[in-house]
Structure 1
Amino acid sequence: MKRIILFIFFFVSISISAQTKYMIYFKDKGIDYKDRLSKTSEFYKEAEKELSSRAIERRKKVLGEDYIDYSDIKINAEYINKIEKKGIEIVHVLKWFNAVSAFLTSDEYNELILLPFVEKIEIIKTLKSESNYSYLIGTIPEGSDKASPNFTYDYGSSLNQNILSDVPFVHDMGITGEGVFIGLLDTGFRWKSNPPLRGRNVIAEYDFVQKDGVTANETGDVLDQDSHGTSVFSLIGGFQNGEMIGPAFNAQFALAKTEYVPTETNIEEDNYVAAMEWLEGLGVDLTSSSLGYSTFDKDQRSYSYADMNGSTSLVSKATDIAFSKGVVTFTSAGNERSTSWGYITTPADAYNILSVGSVTGSGGVSYFSSFGPTSDGRIKPEIAAQGSNTYRVTTSGNYSYGSGTSFSCPIAAGVTSLLMSAYPYLKNTQVREIMMQSASNSESPNNDIGWGIVSALKAVTYPNLRESNGNIVITKAFQNPNQMNLQTLKLHFKGSSGIEQVIAMNYQGGYVFTTNLPQFVNDESIVFYFTYESSEGLSKREPANSEKSYKMYGGKLNIITSAKSEEEIVLPEEYILVQNYPNPFNGSTLITFLSKDNNYAEVEVFNVLGEKIKTLFSGIASVGKNNIYWNGTNDLGESIASGSYIYSLKINGTVLNKKLLYLK
């Protein structure tokens, strides 16, 4: 036996290449996973200092006063010191994953893996894009040079990509992205001297490749390293009247350079995670990354389609952690439709991210736009925008046309920023839902364009809910209140009683109407619609189709118009323990729980006498869905007797129980 162990150890040692980048995971942070965080502890206070006041306020919208969790606790400095004393340089410190990244030789690997505080060491994957991933240059679209008709701004040749998503109409309402803080992750950004970008409000920028504060090209970068990111920035927030305009040109921006471009576009996953942690701590409201990957550098294992499940890649996990902290996250779906891969790429597979497909200027699916579903069956992409022949700026300050989901993504993210600018109180879960429900294909979502092409106007005029002084307030906007008889707007709703009630909506000025809703029973289904008279005395209804209505549920803040969205897995607002399946079972059964954050969790099975039979899970829960399979054995590996059992989830002070039946 000793010979076998020595042989295996020797084989592992010689098979690890020198100068390879690794993630070194630690067993703890100096505080036990099971310990609940005290707000008076030094751990809590240090974690809070890492967050801007804006980040804290954004988190409070979704997490309340419990806005610090285990993932926020700093990594134990003693562990880092012990590694550095061995002459190893730490590249990134990643508190969300309780890990650091570093380049190791095989000898260093073998030494570190034996340290008592090291949980595991894994190779960091260097993701490599497919060829032609961003610059699929197209011909000039017909009519793209026409002047913008009767709008406040002159969109020049960017008119079509904006008008396809109804952006000019919302700009004319005075909504241009003000108050929204956007984080971009890309190859670099040459913005300071670029005409449509030099006037943008950039709050912070950082290069995670060269580890400095310069995101434009510098010594060590290849020619036009920053080209792709510059174009992306112009598509979401550029402004040069008469030439090109991005949807959210009055937003604030933080720029993260995460990719190294030698001859092809590459990104190491730790750079992406480090950038997401940085952006979230700054307080961004939304992140957008025009990156999508399925293959790795030579000699590394590529992701398979089975890995497109939202819970495998580091980048997908990082986006969902950011979402759990209140950030709206975007990424491009990928350009693989005509390749052997075909499907969306990571991190588009993440549970809560809004992945963006591409359409042509006339609304047809682009020939390159990756399709879904994820390997676990979720519809992807969620939404779409124009990505064929988009008009964007280059690093020289000139303009050209380019294609790719890399370019549809920032347009869709910019459109979403307009919604967030109009209603700063919205939670990220509401923003995600509204963008999908207001898109062009919401009644029949598919794996080509998801819920459809985004519409800034439909999103801003979609009804929304908020809590205020113990009341639930419903808000509804109209594009042209001056064409309405303001006193006639009514809300019609029907709850479980089946009796329709009518409430007058109150005009708040501008384009907004509100009213307080009565109290509803939790989870009670309520359908509703609006009626009013036009200034010409004509009766109007919204939705216009009398067979359609909006729907909401008591105790929830989301509003839907299509049943499909109810089946989608998004960040839960609470901890949920799902009934096992199959039940009864005689082979194995699936137990699923959903977590709203990264906290220590235990799932255990008990007999009817309350005696523990099996510990199924003990560790940090992933945000979203956590799956566990049980084969009907106890902690000793012995088969249990037929009968009823109770399985229990314990997480962050919450205990949830359900029954199951095991039959031999």
Structure 2
Amino acid sequence: MKNTIFILLFLFPISSAFSQVEDAWVYLKDKPNEASFYAAPLTMLSQRSLNRRARYNIAIDFKDVPIESSYISAIKNASGITILAKSKWLNALHIQGTKSNIDALLNLELATFLIVDSIEYANRRLNASKPIISSKRLPRTKKKQLETTTGFTYGNAENQLLMLGGTTLHQNDFTGFGMQIAILDAGFPNVNTILAFKRIIDNGQILGGYDFVDRSTNIYGGDSHGTSVLSTIAGYLQDGVDGATRSFVGTAPDASFYLFRTENAPVEVKLEESLWVEAAEKADSLGVDVINTSLGYSVFFDNPEHNYTYSDMDGKTTFISRGAEIAFSRGMILVNAAGNEGNDTAWPNINAPADAPSVLTVGAVNASGNIASFSSFGPTSDDRIKPDVCAQGQATSLINTSGRVVTANGTSFSSPVLAGVVACLWQAFPDKTNAEITQLIKESAHLFPSFTNQEGYGIPNFKSIFETNYVDDNDIDGDGIENLVDSCPNSPKGTVVDETGCFYMPSNNFIIEVINETCIDKNNGKINISATIPYIYTANINGANYSFTDENALALTNLAVGPYEICISIENQNFNQCFNVNIAKGESVSGKVKVSSKFALITLNKGTPPFKVYLNGIEKIRTMNMAFELPVKQGDLIEVKTNISCEGVFSKEINFEDLVSLYPNPISTNVNFNFPTEIMGLNVTIYSVLGGVIFERKILKSNPKVDISSLKKGLYFLQVKYNHEVKTFKILKN
């Protein structure tokens, strides 16, 4: 009996495997009524969406046409098939059914026409044309973001904006007004009730939304993740206003929003990809400008057979990444979290749709701008740079569903922090395309054109983008001086001007370096000229013209000794500034030597390093220093040669007999003597100022001092004799 039960238990999963429900995408062959939709574009897209297409010269095409309704009905009515989602962009339906029922759709006809082009199963093993080795990893529970209550001040929230240079946009009244942002996330509970969103509710800044998971118009349910994400862009609190006890301002407080729930937080299923594409299509049809996505898909599906491999992270394999690329082609900017798997040794990579080429993929840094270890790594499997840029995603300030200001970690939050500033930037430059805005952001980043696999190009600088590109109607030449007081209203772009709006050149713009002749009669002087402000310069030097720029300095060589007049002018500017310089005649090496008991300190006054130092003909030192020390003894010969042979040789012979000294002076009791070991002793004689001998004694090295305490106070002469030498000191007895 036990064997029978075992066999039954063993056979049941096998038989059920053939009848289990599968997820699949059914791709349809055509859209037979597309011409009628081209004739009536408002049946596909809103006027705002059409205006965006016209502004950026984006044509309406096949992808914009809705799926043929008769095809949807035919598949819906097919045996055992359930339609879960649809995508007009990919002309596809996300369905569920058994494999046999799904495969049968390949033979589905309408008026003798086969309507299904191909089928792609979520279970990679079932796609015979593209066999997939599924991941052996077990499904993983989704990680909750670390959330901690903090003693938040406005300054902490402001750092998220300051890091990106976004305050410059806000200070110039670019706060997202007129821009539409779609948040595609897991839910938005309490957005309609907590104080932080009262401002956008009262101002009508939430334009609508949809719960694609539950197919409901109630957008204020689901997981709390989306509420936190939205708060980084739209949250608004002012301490003391409406009962607020803290201040908080998101990165685009005046933007308008659509809230779309596409993620079912408790599970990880392929349907979520389809719902995301469906929501992106809706965003496009409404005329949304920016989509933020703090979601990603890779190897964490509940069904391991649905997992992707790293090779699939190529921006063109996953359903969601293909949809993201189409979304970008419609004129929107897509900002996406890179992922939080940086510390996961098995899968440290970015997820889809962060791998899509046109998506602006965002990594996470801390408040100091250092990369967060959890931030996922690039590149894509086809070796493209990802992530693209970074924003603060560690200890990010946000507002939770209780209305409290807290901090949390994750690229889920660096992405919307950046997305809000992107919307403000696009508000400032509405004539630039999504591709142009995205490229400006990448090129402004602090590492560009360099990159790392975890930071991408680094932290973008929206301040520099704005200041480089913005033209104010009140300042037509963009020189910072308003038209009413601008005496030179047509200054070329980039001209540095004074308070009147006219050309100005700071006195320290030019650096002129003169290098004198190295040796006499060599005629090898040099003049180097560089500038800091970017212009095309012409230098007239003693009648000859030479061009240079701030990036390519001017270097003249082999110049004769004598005076030079340098006059510098600037292309297209009324400017001329002259300088007078002189190339001096070459000189020989020179210096001095100070000898102590066993060392010689050599100090060179002139000469070109590096120096070679010889002692008795043997090289001892090579140095760049103008002063150096050498151990010596009586009779040693020091020679110093410079890097230029024509400068000659500096030499000094050591004579310790010049080294006898005494101390202290004035003297109370003992006179102490210093003399080298080469001198065995001193004969000391003390004279009065009238020349009379008062004191005589022999001093030895073993006891080099004399007691003169018995002498009266006054001035004396002390004479020492050694090795046929005589040296006299004037001393004062206290």
User: What TM-score bracket applies, with the shorter chain setting the length?
Assistant: 0.5 to 0.7
Task: Tell me: higher relative CO, structure 1 or 2? Use CA pairs within 8 A at least 6 residues apart.
Answer: 1
Equivalent of 1:232 in 229, 233, 238? 229
CA distance in 2, matches of 1:244, 1:265: 35
**Is the 8 Å Cα contact of residues 489 and 504 (structure 1) preserved in structure 2?**
no
* Partner of residue 217 from structure 2, selected from 213, 220, 224: 213
1:369 aligned residue: 375
Q: Does 1:335 align with 2:340?
A: yes
Distance change in 2, residues 1:442/1:530 (3 Å): farther
Whether the 8 Å CA contact 1:124–1:268 is kept in 2: the answer is no
Going from structure 1 to structure 2, the CA distance change for 1:475 and 1:439 (only over 3 Å counts) comes to: farther
SS in 2 for 1:122: strand
Partner of 1:512: none
Specify the alignment match of 1:609 in structure 2.
none
Letter of the aligned partner of 2:78 in structure 1? K
Rounded Cα–Cα distance in structure 2 between residues aligned with 1:181 and 1:61: 16
Hey, what does 2:157 align to over in structure 1?
158
Q: Which amino acid aligns with 2:145?
A: Y
The equivalent residue for 1:279 is 283
Alignment of 1:468-617 (within 5 A): 486-487=486-487, 504=492, 529-533=494-498, 539=505
Answer with 17-26 or 332-341: which moved more. 17-26
Q: Which residue of 2 aligns with 1:439?
A: 445
Q: Tell me whether 1:428 sits opposite 2:428 in the alignment.
A: no
1:137–1:403: 8 Å Cα contact kept in structure 2? yes
Is contact 2:237-2:249 (8 Å) kept? yes
Say which of 51, 57, 69 aligns to 1:63.
57
Question: Which residue does the alignment assign to 2:83?
Answer: 90
Which residue is equivalent to 2:193?
193
Distance 1:85 1:420 in 2: 46
Distance 1:485 1:443 in 2: 39
Structure 2 distance, partners of 1:475, 1:431, is 22
TM-score by length of 2: 0.58
Change (3 A) 1:476 1:424: farther
Separation in 2 of the partners of 1:69 and 1:13?
46
Aligned to 2:106: 113
Q: How far 1:157 sits from its partner (Å)?
A: 3.8
SS, match of residue 416 in structure 1 = helix
Q: Is the 8 A contact 1:129 1:292 kept in 2?
A: no
Tell me, in whole angstroms, the C-alpha distance in 2 between the residues paired with 1:15 and 1:119: 26
SS at match of 2:183: strand
| 2:121 corresponding residue in structure 1 | 123
CA gap of 1:23–1:416, structure 2 versus 1, over 3 A, is same
Where does residue 135 of structure 1 map in the other structure?
Answer: 145
1:60 maps to a residue whose letter is A
* Paired AA for residue 58 in structure 1: R
The C-alpha deviation readout for 1:559-607, integer Å capped at 9, x for no partner, is: xxx9xxxxxxxxxxxxxxxxxxxxxxxxxxxxxxxxxxxxxxxxxxxxx
> After superposition, what is the alpha-carbon deviation per residue over 1:306-350, rounded to whole angstroms, capped at 9, x for unaligned?
111111111111111011111011100111111121121111110
Change in CA separation of 1:458 and 1:74 when aligned onto 2, cut-off 3 Å: same
Contact 2:22 2:123 in 1 (8 A): no
Aligned to 1:634: none
Matched-pair identity in %: 33
Give the whole-Å Cα distance in 1 for the aligned partners of 2:422 and 2:65: 31
C-alpha separation in 1, matches of 2:476 and 2:458: 24
Amino acid at match of 1:283: G
Quote the Cα distance in structure 1 between the aligned partners of 2:253 and 2:236.
6
Task: State whether structure 2 residue 320 is matched by structure 1 residue 312.
Answer: no
- What residue identity is the alignment partner of 2:497? Y
Unaligned runs of 5+ in 2: 1-13, 109-113, 125-134, 240-246, 511-529, 536-550, 552-734
Q: Distance in 1 between matches of 2:442 and 2:484?
A: 27
Amino acid at match of 2:313: M
Preserved contact between residue 487 and residue 500 of structure 2 (Cα < 8 Å): no
CA distance in structure 1 between the partners assigned to 2:223 and 2:381 by the alignment:
33
Match of residue 391 from structure 1 = 397
Aligned partners of 2:478 and 2:377: how far apart in 1? 33
The alignment partner of 1:30 has SS state of: coil
Residue 349 (structure 1) aligned with residue 337 (structure 2): no
2:167 is aligned to 168
Task: Confirm or deny: 8 A CA contact 2:364 2:393 kept in the other structure.
Answer: yes
TM-score w.r.t. length of structure 1: 0.64
- In the alignment, the residues of structure 2 paired with residue 325 and residue 187 of structure 1 have an alpha-carbon distance, to the nearest angstrom, of 24
Partner of 2:406, secondary structure, is: strand
Deviation of the 1:298 alpha carbon: 2.2
Change (3 A) 1:397 1:488: same
Q: Which residue of 2 aligns with 1:182?
A: 181
Letter in 1 for 2:56: V
CA-CA distance at 1:166 after TM superposition: 2.4
State the alpha-carbon separation in 1 of the partners of residues 23 and 434 from structure 2. Answer: 34
Decide whether the 8 Å contact of 1:533 with 1:540 is kept in 2.
Answer: no
Aligned to 2:260: 256
Residues 290-301 of structure 1 correspond to what in structure 2 (within 5 A)? 290-295=294-299, 296-301=301-306
> What is aligned with 1:554?
none
* Aligned residues of 2:86 and 2:274 also touching (Cα < 8 A): no
Distance 1:395 1:266 in 2: 28
Distance 1:175 1:102 in 2: 44
How far apart are the structure 2 equivalents of 1:365 and 1:60?
40
| 8 A Cα contact 1:24 1:100, kept in partner | yes
**RMSD of the alignment, in Å?**
3.6
Q: Separation in 2 of the partners of 1:378 and 1:282?
A: 31
Matched position secondary structure for 2:381: coil
TM-aligned CA distance change 1:532 to 1:342, over 3 Å: farther
CA contact (8 A) 2:387 2:454 kept: yes
**Inter-partner Cα distance in structure 2 for 1:388 and 1:312:** 30
Distance 1:19 1:379 in 2: 38
The answer to whether 1:382 aligns with 2:397 is no
Q: CA deviation at 1:114?
A: 2.1
2:23 to 21, 24, 48: 21
Secondary structure (helix, strand or coil) at the match of 1:79 reads: helix
Displacement of 1:63? 2.8
Contact 2:488 2:500 in 1 (8 A): no
The one-letter code matched in structure 1 to 2:342 is R
Q: In structure 2, what is the equivalent of residue 204 of structure 1?
A: 208
The secondary structure found in structure 2 opposite 1:374 is: coil
| Post-superposition offset of 1:61 | 2.6
Does the 8 Å contact 1:489/1:532 carry over to 2? no
Whole-Å Cα distance in 1 between the matches of residues 117 and 148 of structure 2? 50
Instruction: Specify every segment of 5 or more residues in structure 1 that has no aligned partner in the other structure, as ranges.
Output: 1-11, 32-36, 147-154, 218-224, 466-473, 491-502, 506-528, 551-561, 563-664
- The 3 A distance-change label for structure 1 pair 194 and 376 is same
1:611-661 deviations in Å (ceiling 9; x for gaps): xxxxxxxxxxxxxxxxxxxxxxxxxxxxxxxxxxxxxxxxxxxxxxxxxxx
- Quickly say closer, same or farther: Cα 1:477–1:483, change in 2 above 3 A: closer
Q: CA deviation at 1:373?
A: 1.1
Q: CA deviation at 1:504?
A: 3.4
Q: Is the 8 A contact 2:25 2:93 kept in 1?
A: yes
SS in 2 for 1:531: coil
Change (3 A) 1:196 1:456: farther
SS at match of 1:431: helix
SS in 1 for 2:305: coil
Amino acid aligned to 1:531? V
Change (3 A) 1:122 1:546: farther
Once residues 313 and 532 of structure 2 are traced to their aligned partners in structure 1, the CA distance between those partners, rounded to angstroms, is 38
